[in-house]
Amino acid sequence: KPTIRAYDRTRMSIAWFLVAGVVLVAVAVAGSLLKRLPLTTSMFYLGAGALLGPWGAGLIDLDAIGDAPLLAVLTELAVIISLFTAGLKLRLPFADRRWRTAILLASVAMALTVAGIAAFAVMAAGLSLAAAVLLGAVLAPTDPVLASDVQVADEHDAEPVRFSLTGEAGFNDGTAFPFVMLGLGLLGVHELGVNGWRWLTVDVVWAVSAGLAVGAASGAGIGRLVLFMRRAHKETAGLDEFVALGLIALSYGLALQIHAYGFLAVFAAGLSMRRIERREAGAAPAKMARAVLEFNEQLERLGEVAVVIIVGALLAGIAGWTPGLLVVVALFAVIRPAATAVTLLGSPLTSTQRAFMAWFGVRGVGSIYYLTFALAHGAAAAPEARAIADITLVVVAASIVLHGVSVTPLMQYYGRLRG
């Protein structure tokens, strides 16, 4: 019997190697083919996950609630790498008015989205107020991982729609945390304080401001150190990838140590490193920033493949699709457009630009992280935990499909309009 078990494990390992090889090769081949079609690679990953999960080969058998701690770690890694990459891509000085649009979308529009989703979930999905607020917080942030087709292409891309969507996704993956903590508090698994005083002072004011400060200081300090070593001793040539990973880990760890939001710290670290490159003259800063950005983009792509495949496998465990589909229609057709319209009142943007920002509020890996984080921190015991998980998975899958199908023709149309 021990020999049989060893053989079975070996056979399973061989199967995983074969599957991983086929998937990675197919990803590389599909990437060039899908460019000619109104499809995205994320849709391919989602389908691959469904085929590898219980609906198909059964090689991936995970549960959103039972495996929440593991899924939280995997999605956490994908998000922090993507946030650092997004920060490196945003090269405009903070005085530029495009930053104002991004910050408004990441704060005002997101708060309105949380409120809209919560209200709809109470009235149409029958969730309690506490569960509805948590669901709104999970679904409110847009995604820096899956929205690459509508974000800036490189550090020199300052087109208003792309820049605003990139900045929004970078900021609101951190600014969503206070609303997640509020939802957990209403469920009774997090301390909010008398009249919400602790939540306001600690979870909102301190955690947000300290996270941004830690990230900015870490990015500036490490960036200047690397530039000094390059110019004085050329010691870091070829080691920029290690610098990137070290800065991500340092800024994230320091933020968590002082009970601040690590996502905001990582994003701010990327912005700070890019700011040094913009302000310092010479080839060394540009070479450092370019090498770090290219390395992180490769890591980001690997994280996207892994997480979206897992999402595809998790779809088989959804108990009911109707509540999730109702939220999909409400979020993408009403709540997101209304929140964007209210937030951008008085903005110099054109109506077409506002419409594109309203539609391309992509939901993805960030929402999966917040879902699994909440489940791993006490929300799994709530009676409505399964409903929250099912709705989130349906919304993310629908976003991958709807935005994936529409991104190529719409962005080509937008390009023709600008031309």
**R_g of the chain, CA atoms, integer Å:** 21
Closest CA to 117 of 376, 340, 311, 326: 326
417 alpha carbon, distance to own chain's centre: 29
pLDDT in tens, 296-339: 778 888 888 889 999 999 999 998 899 999 999 999 999 999 99
What residues contact 20, with CB distance under 8 A and at least 6 apart? none
* Between 202 and 88, residue with greater pLDDT: 202
Neighbours of 99 (CB within 10 A): 17
**From CA 130, how far away is CA 243, in angstroms rounded?**
42
* Token code pair at residue 166: 């990139």
Which of the 8 DSSP states describes residue 347?
-
How high is the pLDDT of residue 3?
Answer: 41
* Token code pair at residue 13: 């390992």
User: End-to-end CA distance of the chain, in Å?
Assistant: 70
Reduced to 3 states (helix: H, G, I; strand: E, B; else coil), residue 128 is: coil
In DSSP notation, 5-33 reads HHHHHHHHHHHHHHHHHHHHHHHHHHHHH
Does residue 343 contact residue 109 with C-beta atoms inside 8 Å? Answer: yes
pLDDT in tens, 246-298: 889 999 999 999 999 999 999 999 898 888 777 765 555 566 667 777 777 78
Sign of CA dihedral 46, 379, 134, 386: positive
CA distances in angstroms from 76 to 3, 233, 314, 370, listed in the order given: 38, 36, 17, 9
In DSSP notation, 74-117 reads HHHHHHHHHHHHHHHH--S-TTSHHHHHHHHIIIIIHHHHHHHH
Does residue 157 contact residue 125 with C-beta atoms inside 8 Å? Answer: no
What residues contact 380, with CB distance under 8 A and at least 6 apart? 65, 68
pLDDT in tens, 150-169: 877 766 777 888 899 999 99
**From CA 267, how far away is CA 255, in angstroms rounded?**
12
Share of the chain above pLDDT 90, in %: 51
In DSSP notation, 304-347 reads HHHHHHHHHHHGGG-S-SHHHHHHHHHIIIIIHHHHHHHHTTT-
Task: Report, as an integer, the average pLDDT of 339-364.
Answer: 91
- Give the global pTM: 0.90
* Token code pair at residue 213: 């400060």
